Amino acid sequence: MKRSQKILIYCIGLLIGLQFVPLSERKIDKVPDNQSFSQIEGLDKDQLILLKNACYDCHSYETTYPWYAQVAPVSIWINGHIKGGRQKLNFSTWQQYDSEKQKHKLRESAEEIRDGHMPPKSFAFMHSGAKMTDQQKEALASWLESL
């Protein structure tokens, strides 16, 4: 067998093997009931949709995975983002935070949106629903601060 063929077979084997790497964030035993941010009554629907599109994939248990997010090594990379995101802020368990922490997270979120740090650029690039104009960013940020 030629050296190049061996390398190819090795790479394919590696890619297949990577598909079996466990993804910690895929297994969600039970999403707590009635603790989600979205269940707060009277929220502005348009802002909530934007928040869901731009933030929920990493900051809640309501993650939707596009096909490329199912395939390693991308899936492993994305799993890391989701893990880090959920640890810092989880809208699915929002009502477990005390009111002071909620205020803090809302202010922090507004700041991250204004600074353009959240959603991460790579995410907005791949998710058209998460792309925001400056006006939308400002509207979302002020809305979060007003809650």
- Which residue's CB is nearer to ligand HEC, number 72 or number 118? 118
x-or-dash string of contact with ligand HEC, 62-101, rule CB under 6 A: -------------------x--xx--xx------------
Burial environment of residue 102 by CB neighbours within 10 A (0 to 12, 13 to 18, 19 or more): middle
**91 contacts 118 by C-beta, under 8 angstroms:** no
Q: Which listed residue (97, 102, 120, 139) binds ligand HEC by CB under 6 A? A: 120
x-or-dash string of contact with ligand HEC, 6-45, rule CB under 6 A: ----------------------------------------
Q: Which listed residue (108, 136, 138, 145) binds ligand HEC by CB under 6 A? A: 108
d(CA 114, CA 139): 10
Q: Which of 86, 143, 135 is closest to 110 using CA atoms?
A: 143
- In single-letter form, the type of residue at position 33 comes to D
What one-character DSSP code corresponds to residue 30?
Answer: -
Q: Which listed residue (52, 57, 75, 90) binds ligand HEC by CB under 6 A? A: 57
